[in-house]
Structure 1
Amino acid sequence: MQVIGFCRFSYPAEGGFQVEHDDAAARAAYLYAPERIEARFRQFETICLPGIAAQTDPDFLFLVLVGEAMPAPLRERLERLLAPVPQARIVARPPGPHRQVCQEVINDARDMRAPCLMFRHDDDDAVAVTFVERLRAAAADCAALTRAHRLVGFDWNRGWVARPTAEGIRAEPSVTPYWGVAQAAAVQPGVRLTLMNFAHNRINRFMPTVTFTHEEMYVRGHNDHNDSRQKAHVAPVELPLLDAAGEAEFRARFAIDADRVRAVFGHP
């Protein structure tokens, strides 16, 4: 069964952000501001991509949506980062309605005659290296359910919230349902709706969902540029520094290397 991962990398959509902007130009200026985009690139490199590149089941497509107006040096940097990941494909689009553009990009990559598994992925989050393997197994286990419904959601709710720093990785365990990371859907042939047509924390209102809690499957990236942290009165989150055992677990489960994190985030 085809598996598609979908990631937006600073795409200036119309909607889809908790922070509002007057127009697409203002949103692009916010997204490509030097301090913000540098932080996104560093987290994308050290947190997001390692687990994608190290999947135990490599048979999937990883779509990275960017804006057509992304400055050339940023586009080239992104291409260099994705070059070693054969599953990755950059898709550029002009600004447009968030859900509609995401739907079109995913469906353009699909074989609409066949069922599809799709997962959403933010550029500062991570999934375990077994995620695609576990997703296929979940779909097989729930075959009767996926045959009976146009869409079926899958949600792995146990993982970590983590902040990469020059000191290493600050992180603590989390069990949070429908958080939008390690979340997927099985979609029947011919159905044009995608997982991105629904708010991640509300998919259970629109489709049956199956939740898995028995293993850590995600790292929810925490940083000053999270969209959810741009509103007033958002309290800071203090996270403890991982010890050697925690760093080893992150390396084994998510392919996240604390030494690489220190090197990248310790650089001016």
Structure 2
Amino acid sequence: MQVIGLCRFSYPAIGGFQVKHETTEDRIGFLYNEERLMERFQLIETIALPCLRAQTDQQFDLIVVIGDSLPKHHEDRLRDLCADIPQIRIHAEPPRRQREVMKEVLNAARRDPSQPCIQFRHDDDDAVSVDFVERLRQTVIDCPGLVDRNPTVAIDFNRGFIAEVGASGMAAAATMKPYNVAALGMYVRGGSAKTIMNFAHHKLNQFMPTVTITDAPMWLRTHNQYNDSRQSGAHVVDVTPVTPELAGEIEARFAIEPDHIRRVFSAL
């Protein structure tokens, strides 16, 4: 069964952001701000990509959507960071309505639309456990009656970490929250054009059956300066510097290395 992931990297969509801009040009200016992009590159390098390289099930596809106006030196840097992950394909689009574009991209990525698939979203500042793809696939196998009777079924791993990262390393807090973007997948029946982008992630349980698995931390979400969802009225999470023991657990589960974080965030 094909597993397809979707990641936006500073794509200047029309809509789809909680931070408001008057014009598309204003949004592009915000997204391509050099300071902001520096942080996004630091996060994708240290947080979002290592867990993909280390997946125990390597049979997945990930489309990274960028704007066709992303400056060439930034696009080249992104391609260099992703070059050793053959599952990744970088796809450029002009500014369009976010959900319209993302639904098209996901459906175009299906090698055989008559067959079922599993889809997930992957933010460029979050990580999933190294066995995420394997467990997504296994969960569908474990629920034959449910997937047979429903065109879509959500799969939610609701346990994880909130983290802050920087030149001093990582601080984190264990938490449990349902229907985050990270470590949330969706089964789609063969022949259906529905995608995970048809639905707001926190409302998936209003439209389909959901399977919740809570036995292990499966996602790590970073709080950082440019989280779109945290720009106003954000809930503050108290994080503490990770102990050596917790750092070892996070590295084993997410392939995140504290020394790598310190090096990247300390570089000029």
**TM-score computed with the length of structure 1 as normaliser:** 0.97
Could you tell which deviates more after superposition, 14-23 or 237-246?
237-246
Structure-2 residue corresponding to 1:158: 159
Structure 1 residues 61-100: aligned runs within 5 Å:
61-100=61-100
Structure-1 residue corresponding to 2:231: 230
Across the aligned residues of Structure 1 and Structure 2, the Cα RMSD in angstroms comes to 1.0
- Taking only the aligned residue pairs, the percentage that are identical comes to 47
CA–CA separation in structure 2 for the residues paired with 1:262 and 1:156: 28
- SS of aligned partner of 1:103: helix
Q: What is the total number of aligned residue pairs between the two structures?
A: 267
Deviation at residue 235 of structure 1 after TM alignment: 5.9
CA–CA separation in structure 2 for the residues paired with 1:209 and 1:120: 16
Supply the AA of the counterpart residue of 2:158. N
Structure 1 residues 33-72: aligned runs within 5 Å:
33-72=33-72
CA–CA separation in structure 2 for the residues paired with 1:201 and 1:104: 21
Could you tell which deviates more after superposition, 153-162 or 15-24?
15-24
- SS of aligned partner of 1:264: helix
- SS of aligned partner of 1:96: coil
Supply the AA of the counterpart residue of 1:134. R
Deviation at residue 237 of structure 1 after TM alignment: 4.0
CA–CA separation in structure 1 for the residues paired with 2:22 and 2:148: 44
- SS of aligned partner of 2:49: helix
- SS of aligned partner of 2:79: helix
Structure-1 residue corresponding to 2:218: 217
CA–CA separation in structure 2 for the residues paired with 1:261 and 1:155: 28
Structure-2 residue corresponding to 1:174: 175
Deviation at residue 234 of structure 1 after TM alignment: 3.8
CA–CA separation in structure 2 for the residues paired with 1:184 and 1:127: 11
Deviation at residue 51 of structure 1 after TM alignment: 0.3
Deviation at residue 87 of structure 1 after TM alignment: 0.5
- SS of aligned partner of 2:161: strand
Q: Any gaps of 5 or more consecutive residues in structure 1? A: none
**Could you give the per-residue CA deviations for residues 42-68 of structure 1, whole angstroms, max 9, x where no partner exists?**
000000000011100000001101111
Q: Is the 8 A contact 2:5 2:120 kept in 1?
A: yes
CA–CA separation in structure 1 for the residues paired with 2:235 and 2:175: 18
- C-alpha spacing 1:34/1:236, structure 2 compared with 1 (3 Å): farther
Deviation at residue 152 of structure 1 after TM alignment: 0.4
Structure 1 residues 191-210: aligned runs within 5 Å:
191-210=192-211
Q: Is the 8 A contact 2:172 2:239 kept in 1?
A: yes
Supply the AA of the counterpart residue of 1:131. F
CA–CA separation in structure 1 for the residues paired with 2:183 and 2:235: 25
- C-alpha spacing 1:190/1:235, structure 2 compared with 1 (3 Å): closer
Supply the AA of the counterpart residue of 2:132. F
Supply the AA of the counterpart residue of 2:91. V
Runs (4+) off by over 2 Å: 233-238
Asked if residue 187 in structure 1 is aligned to residue 178 in structure 2, the reply is no
Asked if residue 108 in structure 1 is aligned to residue 84 in structure 2, the reply is no
CA–CA separation in structure 1 for the residues paired with 2:147 and 2:22: 41
CA–CA separation in structure 2 for the residues paired with 1:108 and 1:267: 38
CA–CA separation in structure 2 for the residues paired with 1:122 and 1:157: 16
Q: Any gaps of 5 or more consecutive residues in structure 2? A: none
